[in-house]
């Protein structure tokens, strides 16, 4: 592996970490996903084609690892670490509290989206990739990216605008698909 390739991999890490957090909903799990993706990319660097986008290749690896994890959770059940405690906000101001509550609501709503929609939202809305780039990474046509993003935005809007009881009911519908 060349020094240039190493430098390019390091340069993409901050964006890649945000993507991993968006997929997993947890900084710790996101960091684990980044580490596992980097290990897999380094062990299979011979499969990357020079002249193509390294970040797209790594995003694809991360998405595949994440989808494999989701499938495993369905089979084995989710493992919960009871020692994990949420971080407290840095200040006690009303503005900071509003921001934190909004971020939590959006994060919770994002977690209620189907995996395919969540990945598209992460790539397009959080990472700022074009529809074409997101289509290349996910391996679906641009029209599918646009459709998934539109449905995801509608669902997020409905979840965030509903009162709490309706939001819970909608979460059940979105997760079960009924």
* C-alpha dihedral sign at 126, 127, 131, 137: negative
| Domain spans in the chain, listed from the N-terminal domain onward | 1-86, 91-178
Put simply, whether the predicted model's pTM sits higher than 0.85 gets the answer no
The string of pLDDT tens digits covering residues 73-129 is 788 776 655 455 444 445 556 777 888 888 888 888 999 999 999 999 999 998 999
Q: Could you tell me if 74 and 128 are in contact, meaning their C-beta atoms sit under 8 angstroms apart?
A: no
Residue 47 DSSP one-character state = G
Q: What is the CA radius of gyration of the chain?
A: 18
Q: Could you tell me if 54 and 8 are in contact, meaning their C-beta atoms sit under 8 angstroms apart?
A: yes
The length of the chain is: 178
Q: Is 91-178 a CATH 1.10.10.10 domain?
A: yes
> In terms of CATH architecture, what is 1-86?
Orthogonal Bundle (1.10)
Q: Could you tell me if 19 and 59 are in contact, meaning their C-beta atoms sit under 8 angstroms apart?
A: yes
The C-alpha atoms of residue 36 and residue 77 are separated, in whole angstroms, by 21
């Amino acid at each position: 592996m060349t020094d240039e390739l190493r430098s390019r991999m390091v340069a993409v890490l901050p964006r890649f970490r945000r993507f991993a957090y968006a997929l997993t909903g947890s900084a710790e799990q996101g960091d684990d996903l980044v580490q596992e993706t980097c290990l897999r990319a380094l062990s299979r660097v011979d499969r990357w084609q020079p002249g193509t986008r390294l970040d797209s290749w790594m995003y694809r690896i991360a998405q595949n690892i994440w989808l494999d994890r989701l499938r495993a959770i369905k089979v084995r059940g989710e493992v919960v670490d009871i020692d994990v405690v949420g971080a407290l906000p840095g200040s006690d101001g009303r503005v900071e509290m509003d921001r934190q509550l909004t971020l939590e609501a959006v994060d919770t709503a994002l977690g209620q989206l189907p995996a395919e929609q969540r990945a598209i939202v992460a790539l397009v809305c959080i990472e700022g990739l074009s529809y074409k780039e997101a289509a290349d990474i996910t391996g679906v046509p641009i029209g599918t990216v646009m459709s998934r993003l539109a449905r995801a935005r509608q669902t997020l809007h409905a979840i965030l605008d509903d009162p709490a009881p309706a939001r819970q009911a909608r979460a059940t519908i979105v997760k079960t698909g009924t």
